[in-house]
Structure formats: structure tokens, C-alpha cells
Structure 1
Amino acid sequence: MRMQEKTRLAELEAEKVQYIIQQHLRDIERQQKEGEKFRESLQQQAQAEAQKLRYDDELARKRMQTEREAQRRQDAELVKMQEAAALRKEEVRRTTEKKILEKMLEDEKEKALLKKQNIQANAEAKGEALTREAKALEDYNRKMLLERINGDKEKWIAAINTTFSHIEGGFRMLLTDRSKLLMGVGGVTALAAGIYTTREGAKVTWGYINRILGQPSLIRESSMPKFPLSRFKALKSTSASLSGGAGFENVILHPSLKRRIEHLARATANTKSHDAPFRNMLFYGPPGTGKTLVAREMARKSGLDYAMMTGGDVAPLGSEAVTKIHQIFDWAKKSRKGMLLFIDEADAFLCEYVHNLIFKHLSDH
């Protein structure tokens, strides 16, 4: 009995231990399940948090991208506004410069017109002054001549009567004496021949002197000297200067304009060497830009003589201007090298000539 009880107790103890073990196993299993559930919940929570972080990051990136797009659009609009402002500013600047240039051109035109009017007025004033002076001088000479004639009238009458009385006595003496008549006729003939010879010789001598010294009055400057010796020296110095090749070194010009002037000088020299007709050239520009100096240097480089006249001296001459200009061209033909005639301020009489032609044309119609 005791053995059975002990065995039974042992079995009970064993069952109790087994139960406790199973209970512990169930607790462990339950704890494992709870741990797995907790781990799963942690994983789910971590996944949720990671997903939330990804979502927040994506939202932040989208927000930053949107802000960048907005900033880029704003920058583009700002650049467009700046470009438009720059274009408007450039347009305003160009418009202002254009207005300033047009104003300057108008001022230059007004200055040129005023200068032309002043030149024309000065020329007309000089012409009128010369005309009045010539008329006053003529009136004065006529008055003095009349006064002298009236004052010396009796003396002249007495002298004429005395002369005629002497001539009458001489004729009577010649008519009565044949030898004296022949001597008188011979003396008168010799006197007439001497007077004629002296007059013609004086004409020839004056023509020769005028050919050497006869520079027209309208010429203000010329490379043709007045005396033969000085002409020889001038030719020698001119040839030396041309052989030296000074050219247009003393003239300051734009390179393109300088090349064109040198081309014209060479063409003029070739025209002279080939005996071809010369061309006319027109230099225009404001005063003091070197037109006269260029013409002088061109004549020297071309190997030609040069002469300069001013249009302001031609306008007051009136109808005598044509004769004076013909004298200039006749004088220019005497140059052995050829003549380059430079007419400074040509508009002073050309404008007057054109104005007269227009007025005549309008009056005819």
C-alpha cells in the first residue's frame, strides 16, 4: 500500500511536474506568440513609420520641386521683364540719339545755309560797294574834269588860237618855199612812222612782259612764278620735292579717303602723261578740313602747276566775270606741265548763277 501510495504520489508529482512543464511550455509558447505579435506589430509600426517618412519625404520633394518651378518661373519672368526694360531703354537711347543726330544735322544745315547766305550777302555787299565806289570815283573824275575844263577854257581857247595862228603862218611859209615844204612833209612822215613804230614796239614789249608777269588778278596763289629765273628755281625745287616722294604725309586724312585721294593724284598724273582730258573734282566739307591743302598736295604729287582763286571774288564782277574767267583759262594754258585750278568757295558765284538761271526760266514762263 505504501509502495502504491508512494508510486501514486510519485506519479502525481510527475504529473504535477509534467503539468507545470506543460504550463511553462504554454507560457513560453504564449510569450513567443506575444513576442512574435509584438515583433510583427513593431515591424508594422516601423513599416508604417518608414512609409510615412517616405510619404513625407516625397511630399517635401514635391513641395521643393514646386517651389523650384515657381522660383524658376519667377526668375524667367524677372529676366523677361529685365530684357523688356533693357530693350525699352535701348529703344529710348536710340530714339534720343536719332533725335540728337537729326538736330545736329538740322543745325549743320542751318549753319551751312547761314554761311552761304552770309557769303552771298558779303559778295553782294562787296559788289555793291565796288559799284558805288566806281560810280562815285567816275562822278568825281567827271566833276573834276568839268571843273578843269571850265577853269581852263579861256587858256585852251587862247592856246588853240595861238596854235592855229602859228600853224597858219607855217603853212604859208611852206607853201611859199618848196624846199621847206618837202622837209616838212618828210618830217611829219618820219614822225608818224616813229610814233607807229614806238606804239607797235610797246605793244609787243608789253605783250611779252604780260606773258611773263601777267598773272590774272583773280588768282590769289599759284605755283607759277612771275620771273623766269624764279620759274627755273621753282621747277628745280618742285622736281626735287616730287622725286623725294613727300606725297600726302603732311595731310591728316582717314585711311580710305587718303587712298582715294592718292588714286586721284596718280590718275591725274597718268592723264597728263597720256595727253588725255582732265576730269573735274568737287571737294566739299566744313571749313578748316583741309580741302585747299589736299588740292595743293594733289597738284604737287601729280607734277602739275596749281592756282587758287576764290568764288567770293567772282560774284561782285557781274558781267565782267566771264571775261576774267576766260583770262584765267588762257593764262592756265601757258603752263608747260598743266594747270590744276582750284576754285575755293565756288558756291559763292555758282549759287548766284543757278539762282539767275532759275529766275530767268520762271520769268520766261
Structure 2
Amino acid sequence: MNAHDGLLYSVLDLSPILEGETAAQSFRHSLSLAQHTEKLGYHRYWVAEHHNIPGVASAATSVVIGHIAGGTSTIRVGSGGIMLPNHAPLVIAEQFGTLESLYPGRIDLGLGRAPGGDQLTARALRRGLGSSGDTFPADVQELLGFLGPPVPGQRVQAVPGQGLNVPLYLLGSSTFSATLAAELGLPFAFASHFAPELLHQALDIYRSHFQPSKVLEKPHVMIGVNIFAADTDEEARRLFTSLQQVFLNLVRGRPRQLQPPVDDMGRLWTPTEAAQVDRMTRCSAIGGPAAFRRQIEMLLNDTGADEIIATAHIYDQQARLRSFEIAAGVFKELRQFNS
């Protein structure tokens, strides 16, 4: 059997707002992509919570999940993730209990401990909530309690939510959530698509400290990968310049809507900026089918991941759909090769 026989492949979507378009158009693009990837055999479709970022439309994450789940029929739909310190655990239990009640057996709840925006935005979101990254472990336990079976004397229950056992996933870009996911016996997704520096350290901690639980007998590792697959290497590299511009704008502290690709990034950045963006986008697969497959195989061999959660900041919607189509063919080949 091949090492990648059990590989799952999924989608992470930030509902990017294209330069010159609106959030309404972004949501239409997202639903189109979800329907497309469902047909292609992708396992799950996650949307992420971000705030006060001009190019990201998925701030009201639970609402977007409902939109995607309502327009699809088999693919799992969830959060990658909900930034739990922004919310009272009871509210999230009710929201995802509602989603699970509407779309039973299809909802995932991925959780992060970052604010999903800058500190000023975090304060505007949280007001007097009192939660922070430091309270994340306790908040996760409280949320698990609201989604699990009620206990005798429990006076506050999530309705709906209590007893629905919506599956939880912990997300992280450091070792903190890797340790917590191992302790709780939960699946772990690493944000290697934008913060790959601690990838191997986090995965080593997660695997070596993993405690089997009622929901998971052995570690389940998910890695975020930027996918830019096209019919030619040249076209894929050009599509990739839209993401490079996203990170360049973040490095400069001036996030913008998603910009069209360019022919020459050298005219837009300094060598220092280029090096910073290269570090942040190291976990990417860019190329025509053959080159794309080689890069995916290298990532899988390097990490031993059980699941790739693929994201693509591609400006042209048809090129975005095509990228996920080519990628699906590669993922299926890797699963079937020598099986």
C-alpha cells in the first residue's frame, strides 16, 4: 500500500473580495467553488473568521457556513476556524448546534486562539468578554461541555447544541494548540499556508503527546497548503503573484482586496520584502500537473500529513476552479498509485 492511500483533501476558503468587486460577489464565488469541489471529491469545505480585512468576506463565519451547506449536499462544511476568544463558548455552541440541526452529520467546528485581526479590532469585538488566548484551553473545555451530553444539575444548556457532539478541530500556527490537541485527543490543523516556521516542531509535539480519546484513536494531522495548479508552470506562477501581493501588503501593514496577477513581482517589492513573503508562502504547490504533483508529494513525505486543506487566492474564478480540478486529479492519483 502507498503511504498516501488514506489521504483526505479539503478546501479552506477566506471568501476573498476581488479588487473592484463586493462581498456579495465573493459569496457567489465561494458557493460556486464549494459545489465544484464537492463534485471533485473534496472531503470538507472550511471558511475562516477574519475581521477588519478589506480582502476577506468571511467575518460572520457561521452565516457563511450556512450559505455553503445550504447550497451543497454531501461535502462537510465548517470553520477553519472560529476564533474562540472573540466569542462566549455558549454562543458558538448554539450557532454550531443550529448548523448541525439544519445539516446533520456535515458540520465541523475548527477553533483558533488568535483574534483574526489586529488588537484594536479584537477589543472592538470582545468588549467586556474577558477572554483571551490565555483562556483558550478553558474555553475549549466549556464548549465541549455545551456540545456534549448534559450532566446532572447543569443549569445552562446550549439549545440547540447540547448532545449533538459537533466534531472539534484545533487549529494553530505554533506549538500551543498542538499540545492542547494532543492532550484532548482532537484532530490538529497547522496553518502552514501562511506561518510554516514551526510546522515540524508542532507536528512532533502533537504526535508524541497524543492521548487517544472517544473521538480519535490516533493523531490526525491536517496541513494548510496554497495551491496554484494550472495547465502550464508559467500560468501557475503568474496566478501565484496575487497571493504574493496579499502577503506583501500584509508585510507593509496595508491589506487590500485581492489584486490581479502581474507579470513581474520584482517591480513591486524590495529583496527584503521578497524574502519575507517567500518564508510565509513556503508551504505552497505551484505549477502545471507534473510540477504540482512533485511538490505535493514532497510536502506529504516531509510532514506525513493525513489531510491537505488547500487554499487558493486566485483572482480569476475560472482559473480558481481549474486549480482545484487539477489538484483533485493529483490527490486522487496519489491515493490510488500502487494501492
Please give the TM-score of this superposition, normalised by the length of structure 2: 0.19
Structure with the higher strand share, 1 or 2: 2
Which structure would you say has the larger RCO, counting Cα contacts within 8 Å and 6 or more residues apart? 2
